[in-house]
Amino acid sequence: MSSTTLFAGRPWSSGFFLSHPALPGFGLSFGFSVFYLSLVILLPLSALLVYVSDMTWAQYWQAISDPRVVASYRVTLSSALLSTVVASLIGLLIAWVVTRYEFPGRRLVDALVDLPFALPTSVAGLTLATLLAPGGWLGQWLAPLGWQVAYAYPGIVIAMIFTSLPFVVRVVQPVLADLGADYEEAARTLGANRLATLFRVVFPVLAPAMLTGASQAFVRSLGEFGAVIMIAGNMPFETEVASLMIFIRLQEFNYGAAAAIASVILLASLAFLFGLQYLQRRVFPWQGGR
């Protein structure tokens, strides 16, 4: 019996609900949700647009096309892409280990995944800089090899990996848990080897979750500030990110230029997210764009 037949004639079968809602009153719950989103998201974005609207097109273009700002776009985009690739691979591995195996300390490893969510990003950046500096616990072993991580481009990538890794793990982990090991055992029963099972059975199911987790990690890295500025060195044209340029313009009391740079990051993030939704609907239509 379909849900439409089951709930025919009831007010929640009119297209808004497929089953009886747990929360009473659609109008009240929907109104509160819209009010919260407007207060927390739409109003700050509106304030950003107000600052930008006061600028002429020439002023806006000058603010966003300054050579130092363009260099920060390049550093931000390249480091965000690289960190997303690394975080996706490591996140998949961690999610697989935590979900598929039982071992002493498993709950501790699972809890440590959420540490970047609870830890202030500036504290994370300061800790990473202390460890990876030339005189740090790890940096002292890398310096003789000529590898400079802290106060250089690699430090930006590591900071972004640290802050974005939980997004990949927490999106992929429940999909792996729901998948279980039955499909893998069935594939082995039919004669598939481990690589065939991995790439033809497991990965097609994980692909939508991986894409979602990677997109969240990428967007998170685009706007990362606290962890990056503590370890990047912040050298103009080399290790400055776009979020730092916004902060610099604010320190110069150039609020219009800061809003203009922020609008570029905002538009890039929105275009990426909407493009991802379109891609998911075309490539994974059974996911419903989620």
CATH number for position 179: 1.10.3720.10
- Which of 99, 72, 77, 81 has the alpha carbon at shortest distance from 217? 81
Query: Per-residue pLDDT averaged across 122-136, rounded?
Result: 87
Tell me the pLDDT band of 1, cut-offs 50, 70 and 90: very low
The answer as to whether 8 is a domain residue is: no
80 CB burial (10 A radius; 0-12, 13-18, 19+): buried
Tokens of 128: 């990473």
97 and 107 within one domain: yes
Tell me the pLDDT band of 286, cut-offs 50, 70 and 90: low
The answer as to whether 112 is a domain residue is: yes
Give residue 72's domain range: 56-287
216 and 166 within one domain: yes
197 and 253 within one domain: yes
* Number of structural domains in the chain: 2
User: At residue 77, does pLDDT exceed 90?
Assistant: yes
Task: Tell me if 112 sits within 8 A of 124, measured CB to CB.
Answer: no
The answer as to whether 75 is a domain residue is: yes
187 and 44 within one domain: no
Q: Find the radius of gyration of the CA atoms of the chain.
A: 23
116 and 43 within one domain: no
SS (HEC) of 210-263: HHHHHHHHHHHHHCCCHHHHHHCCCCCCCCCCHHHHHHHHHHCCCHHHHHHHHH
Please state, in angstroms and as integers, the Cα–Cα distance from residue 231 to each residue in 107, 144, 145, following that order. 30, 19, 19
C-alpha span between 111 and 77 (Å, rounded): 30
258 and 210 within one domain: yes
Tell me the pLDDT band of 276, cut-offs 50, 70 and 90: confident
Task: Tell me if 248 sits within 8 A of 241, measured CB to CB.
Answer: no
The answer as to whether 168 is a domain residue is: yes
pLDDT of residue 192: 74
Tell me the pLDDT band of 24, cut-offs 50, 70 and 90: low
44 and 105 within one domain: no
The answer as to whether 7 is a domain residue is: no
200 and 74 within one domain: yes
User: At residue 36, does pLDDT exceed 50?
Assistant: yes
The answer as to whether 192 is a domain residue is: yes
244 and 186 within one domain: yes
Query: Per-residue pLDDT averaged across 168-188, rounded?
Result: 82
72 and 115 within one domain: yes
Task: Tell me if 234 sits within 8 A of 244, measured CB to CB.
Answer: yes
149 and 45 within one domain: no
